[in-house]
Amino acid sequence: MPDSLPVLSPAELSRYSRHILLDEIGVEGQRRLAAARVLVIGAGGLGSPAALYLAAAGIGTLGIADLDEVEEHNLQRQLLHDSASIGESKVTSAARRLRASNPHLRVIEHREGITAENAAQIFDGYDVIVDGTDNFAARYLNNDAAFFARKPLVFGSVYKFEGQVAVFHSVAGGPCYRCLFPEPPASGSIPGCSEVGVLGALCGVVGSLQSLETIKLITAIGEPLIGRLLTYDALAQRFQTFAFTRNASCPLCGTTPSIYTLNAATFSAGETPAKFHDATKFGAIPLEISVAEAKRRLDAGATRTVLVDVREPWETAICRVTPSELIPMRQIPERMEMLPKDRHLLILCHHGARSLNVTHFLRARGFPAVSNVSGGITAWAEQIEPSMTRY
């Protein structure tokens, strides 16, 4: 209902003139942006570029949720903050920067972050949710809360040099995060950016893409990433998109769901990941091995070495190494007893992130010889099997 949209002042029409000049946006699109309420969860590497672009774009109300404080090692990628805000609440620091960037913007501060207890009430006050969090527990919580609140969720994630973006929008018939990854990885097997490193500029790309998808949703232009997972390989400078559909067996949005509420216990981050980085007792078994070394060990000792591929079925359908055991990461806790403890287990995934989680998880549960295949099947395809289909 355009008539119910806010009227833009001369100052706003001037400020946003480069948007308004775009036929697809125009004055009406800009008024839609002014009416919109967007919640950015996480004032970090992704939330910084996402919130800055949304604020500059003329979003009317921007909520920012985070419970952490600014730390110096955040500043390499978290552009909302500066050296003077070290030690301050990230939300306070972010709100100051966002208000300074656009006087027409209303900023709502959620310093308590998003929890299973407050998510429903907070999400209710927004039109679009942007997930800029960096851990699995938060992603599942945000996904489920957005589903129950019937709000579109703009998902983004980064790992080392790789990014992913998707829009989960059940009201529009789209799939959710659990359609891709039905269950969180086991508690305690969840390292975030704090343990693995991430290129700051990559966060800029992914967070900017999230703001772009948000603007598209609000102005109803273009083709949103609903039912498509966009992946970005910063080293190769390659974007790819993969279509995925609603999963009938999804525990959240499938035909016979098992999740009906936001249960706090489901989203416990569990033990601290750092605990699982102590690999000293494994002696000569390296935590990570190269694909070349994995190939050598597999060829030399087929009976002593087992390759375990922890990717999802839709991924192993694209490409796989033969022979290998296929056990999606989410099934590792219930199926790990099948894995032999007298073999050297080589854990493989797409780029080496999920498999590193699984490697730590299995080591912490008494498997004496487990190594992560560094670089995953992408590195394998590049170095061992060039004919393999990549994604």
Instruction: Tell me which residues touch Zn ion (CB under 5 A).
Output: 176, 178-179, 250, 252-253
Q: Could you say which of 176, 179, 250, 349 is catalytic?
A: 349
- The partner residues of 160 in beta bridges, in order of sequence, read 198
How are beta strands 288-289 and 370-373 bridged, if at all? parallel
If the CB atoms of residues 50 and 146 are measured against Zn ion, the closer one turns out to be: 146
In angstroms, how far is CA 327 from the centroid of its own chain? 21
If the CB atoms of residues 240 and 245 are measured against Zn ion, the closer one turns out to be: 245
Q: Over the Cα atoms of the chain, what is R_g?
A: 22
Residue with nearest beta carbon to Zn ion:
250
As given in the structure block, the two tokens for residue 115 are 């929890």
Q: How far is the CB of 40 from Zn ion (least distance, A)?
A: 23
Q: How far is the CB of 250 from Zn ion (least distance, A)?
A: 3
If the CB atoms of residues 253 and 349 are measured against Zn ion, the closer one turns out to be: 253
Would residue 203 show up in a list of annotated catalytic residues for this protein? no
Q: How far is the CB of 226 from Zn ion (least distance, A)?
A: 12
If the CB atoms of residues 33 and 141 are measured against Zn ion, the closer one turns out to be: 141
Would residue 253 show up in a list of annotated catalytic residues for this protein? no
Q: How far is the CB of 180 from Zn ion (least distance, A)?
A: 8
Judge contact between 152 and 172, C-beta under 8 A. yes
Judge contact between 83 and 72, C-beta under 8 A. yes
If the CB atoms of residues 70 and 250 are measured against Zn ion, the closer one turns out to be: 250
Burial class from Cβ neighbours inside 10 Å (0-12, 13-18, 19+) for residue 318 reads middle
Of 218, 168, 226, which Cα lies nearest the Cα of 38?
218
Q: How far is the CB of 64 from Zn ion (least distance, A)?
A: 27
Q: Could you say which of 193, 203, 250, 319 is catalytic?
A: 193
Q: How far is the CB of 360 from Zn ion (least distance, A)?
A: 27
If the CB atoms of residues 16 and 136 are measured against Zn ion, the closer one turns out to be: 136
If the CB atoms of residues 113 and 152 are measured against Zn ion, the closer one turns out to be: 152
Distance CA 201, CA 133 (A): 17
Burial class from Cβ neighbours inside 10 Å (0-12, 13-18, 19+) for residue 331 reads middle
In angstroms, how far is CA 73 from the centroid of its own chain? 20
Q: How far is the CB of 107 from Zn ion (least distance, A)?
A: 31
Annotated catalytic sites, by residue?
A: 193, 349
